[in-house]
Structures are given as structure tokens and as C-alpha cells.
Amino acid sequence: MSQAESLPRIESAGLDGWMVRLFDDIDEANMAWLTALVRDCERAFGDVLVDLVPSYTTLLVIFDPLRLSPGEARTRLVDLLQRLQPDEAAADAPIMELPVWYDASVGPELSHLAELAGMSVEEVVACHSERSYRVFALGFAPGFAFMGSVDPRIEAPRLDTPRRKVPAGSVAVAGKQTAAYPAITPGGWNLIGRTPAVLFDRNREGFSLLQVGDRVRFVPIDRAEFERQGGDTRAMEEGR
């Protein structure tokens, strides 16, 4: 791990948790180490483990403080970190395909991104859909997966004024990242299309369709296929 000597660090996250900071910089290569630490924590903590929350550079480890003291938990983490090896299989994880209808009626910033990049709309769609993305983190809303990194040509800042309502399934870009909104929420990302996929389902094991470490590719589909898969074709409402 080519990081500064201060890494990794174990930081207090309350009486029932430790934050393990493996890296300072966001990089897809981090995922091999994070997924390995998740696997090792599951084995080392067993049924005293309450939750694991991986993110871009960190892993939050929550345990049962009635069965394991913070000191004991930290000792286990130190031992794991001394023996940690990257999960080589993470780099070759299967790619999950998400169908997307790229259209101005559901992706109002599609033309804007094309104008910023000096590209045609078709080129922006190709640019977004021709690469695979790694899920770096889940957050903001249940099932909302932060993915990266987009082609530098279509990087774009968030909207100056966020929308009050972004339709479920909206596919968007902000900065170096892309995402799909799992439910109707406020949001300030640039909308470029919509997926018919159900991204969050309380009846699904794990709830979220996407998990940290997953590899994802967006696959362009036309309106007919979008409708066939149950997609909502209603255009963005004025003022949203």
C-alpha cells in the first residue's frame, strides 16, 4: 500500500465503532483493499459484528459493545491490518448492466453536457455508456450508489440550484461521479437519462441493487424497451 506512513489509521467512532482509514485519496484501486478488509472483519468479529460501512477510503466497523470492548475490537483490527492483502478478485468482479433511456425529456442536462464538452448528444451517451464504473459508496438516500469515474470530457459541476424532486431512476453526473436515483428525492446532479431498474427494494436481500465494490455499466436502450421494462416515461415537471 503506497500511502504515507500515517496510514492506515484507526479512528474512534463512538463506544461501539472504529473508523479504519486506509487511504486519503479516492481511487478505484482502493476497492481491492476495502473489500478484503470487509471480508476479514466478517470472519474476525463474527456475531459480535453489527454493521460494516465501506466508503471511498474508509471502513466503519460497528460492533456490540456489550460483548466486545472498544479496546478488544481495536486489537482485532490492528491484527487484521497487519496481515491485510488486497482482494485480487475484486478487479475482475462481474459487470452489472443497467439499462438507460438517454433522452432530453428525462435527462434535461444531456444537451448541456454536450455543449460543455463540445460534443454531440450521441457522443456524450457513448462516452457515458462505454466504460464501466466502480461503486465507491452508498449514501445520501437508501440505494444511492456513488460511482466513478466518468470520462473527464463529461465531468460537470452540480446544478447551482438543486431540484426539489428528481424522479426515481434518473441517471446523473456530478463532478467525476455518476449515479442513479433510487427514489424521488431532491437532487442537484446533471440528469442525462433514466433507468427502469429498481435500485432499492425492501423485499430484496441487501435491499440495494448495487453494493460497494460492484462494477457497473450503463447500457443505452430506446423508449420502447424502456417502457417494456416498466420504466416511467413521464417527462420532468416544470419547476422541479
Q: Per-residue pLDDT for 5 more than 70? A: no
SS (H, E, C) 177-231: EEEECCCCEEECCEEEEECCCCCECCCCCCCECCCCCCEEEEEECCHHHHHHCCC
More confident residue, 139 or 191: 191
Model pTM?
Answer: 0.84
Q: What is the SS3 assignment for 146?
A: strand
Q: Per-residue pLDDT for 90 more than 80? A: no
User: What pairing do the DSSP bridges indicate for beta strands 170-174 and 177-180?
Assistant: antiparallel
Mean pLDDT of the chain: 92
Q: What was the pLDDT predicted at 2?
A: 45
Mean pLDDT of 36-53: 95
Q: What was the pLDDT predicted at 145?
A: 95
CA separation for the pair 231, 45 (Å, rounded): 42
CA separation for the pair 66, 81 (Å, rounded): 24
Strand partners, 64: none
Q: Per-residue pLDDT for 178 more than 80? A: yes
User: What pairing do the DSSP bridges indicate for beta strands 58-63 and 17-21?
Assistant: antiparallel
Mean pLDDT of 65-80: 97
Q: What was the pLDDT predicted at 8?
A: 93
Mean pLDDT of 29-48: 94
Q: What was the pLDDT predicted at 181?
A: 97
Return phi, psi of residue 98, to 5°: -115, 115
Q: Tell me the DSSP string of 15-28.
A: TTEEEEE--SS--T
Mean pLDDT of 88-115: 91
User: What pairing do the DSSP bridges indicate for beta strands 133-138 and 215-220?
Assistant: antiparallel
More confident residue, 89 or 12: 12
pLDDT tens for each residue of 199-219 = 999 888 878 999 988 999 999
Domains and CATH numbers, the chain: 9-91 (3.30.1360.40), 93-228 (2.40.100.10)
Strand partners, 157: none
Q: What was the pLDDT predicted at 1?
A: 46
Q: What was the pLDDT predicted at 193?
A: 97
CA separation for the pair 97, 221 (Å, rounded): 12
Q: What was the pLDDT predicted at 237?
A: 61
Mean pLDDT of 186-193: 97
Q: Per-residue pLDDT for 239 more than 60? A: no
pLDDT tens for each residue of 116-150 = 999 999 999 999 999 999 999 998 888 999 998 99
